Amino acid sequence: MSGGLDIAAERARHPEAFRGKGWLGWLLFAGVFGYLFYLMWLFDFGRVFTSLANVWVIVGLMLDWSGIADWDHAELWRSMLETVAMAYLGTMLAVVLAVPLGFLGASNVIPQRVFRFFTRRLFDGLRGLDQLIWALVFVRAMGLGPIAGILAIAVVETGVLAKLFAEAVENIDRGQVEGITAVGAGLAGRLRFAMLPQVLPVMISQALYSIESNAREATILGLVGAGGIGLRLSERIQINAWDQVAYVIVLILISVALIDTTSRYLRLRLIGAVN
């Protein structure tokens, strides 16, 4: 007697287990793939493969670091530090603005529905446009340099943090607020002794995380002239100095990894201290 299964018999016994997708499923499948192939044709995707030789030429040039002694290391390192400083300043300005805005946008501080609607839309509007767009606009308004980048980071991050802070304030334990109110505290007392202690750890942790993510974002702000390492990178791409481009990218990756590690350590320490 053979140990194998008789597939045909099983199929007859349990038709639902062997049922295929059905024609509607196949049609959907074909439609999706047809559309994707249409898009590939539309964007001339075949050029990726015909240009692959050029890509390898660039990669080859990127890996040749024989001229490393002649590169302007001082300028690159200064710009890298400038990028980190931009991220820090931008985030700090955003924190200063977002703390009051976060309280104003929380429904348990100001219960008026209309007011809350407008503050929330303001946060959405600040957040909705990318930092690079804000940076481009600020470069036109303020001129080239890190200040445009700092302002772009500050504007977008204000929107992001204000929303998060408002949510944090809304999620606090009401008991402490009621307790403080019961002993006769006004709005200022409630904010300082009932709300702030509950949300402060969240705020600090979020601010640290923002510095981290903005340091990553700030590396590209220079591509539109808003200072930092991106500016150096953009210059080197434009003159096709591929070896230095690779060096700058490595520099960015290392710095971002360093900031990530430091920030994670600080956040963990902070959460540990709170609990």
Residues that bind other proteins (CB under 8 A): 36, 39-40, 42-45, 47-48, 51-52, 54-55, 57-58, 81-82, 84-86, 88-89, 92, 124-125, 128-130, 132-133, 136-138, 140-142, 145-147, 150-151, 216, 219-220, 223-224, 227, 230, 233-234, 237, 240, 245, 249, 252-253, 256
Integer CA distances (angstroms), 195 to 18, 108, 113, 189, 252, in order: 59, 10, 20, 9, 39
Q: Which is nearer to other proteins, 177 or 245 (CB)?
A: 245
Distances (CA, A) of 154 to 9, 15, 157, 162, 223: 69, 62, 5, 11, 18
The runs of H, that is alpha helices, within the chain are 7-13, 23-42, 46-50, 52-63, 73-104, 113-128, 131-142, 146-170, 174-182, 187-189, 196-221, 229-238, 242-274
C-beta of 109 vs 245, nearer to other proteins:
245
Nearer to other proteins, 65 or 178 (CB): 65
Min separation Cβ 85 and other proteins, Å? 4
Query: Rounded to whole angstroms, how far apart are CA atoms 105 and 163?
Result: 8
Rg for the chain, CA atoms, rounded: 27
Question: Shortest Cβ distance from residue 55 to other proteins (Å)?
Answer: 5
If phi > 0 it is left, if psi is from -120 to 50 it is alpha, else beta; for residue 67 that is alpha
Tokens of 44: 């001339």
Answer for the pair 177, 192: CB distance below 8 angstroms, yes or no.
no
Closest approach, Cβ 147 to other proteins, in A, equals: 6
**For residues 87-96, b (16+ Cβ closer than 10 Å) or e, as one string?**
bbbbbbbbbe
Token duo for residue 214 = 């903005």
| 151 vs 195, beta carbon nearer other proteins | 151
Nearest approach, Cβ of residue 128 and other proteins (Å): 5
- Minimum CB separation of residue 125 from other proteins in Å reads 7
Nearer to other proteins, 68 or 81 (CB): 81
Q: Which amino acid is at 251?
A: L
Query: Least distance in Å: CB of 35 to other proteins?
Result: 8
Closer to other proteins by CB, 111 or 272: give it: 272
Choice between 177 and 212, CB closer to other proteins: 212
**Min dist. Cβ of residue 21 to other proteins (A):** 13
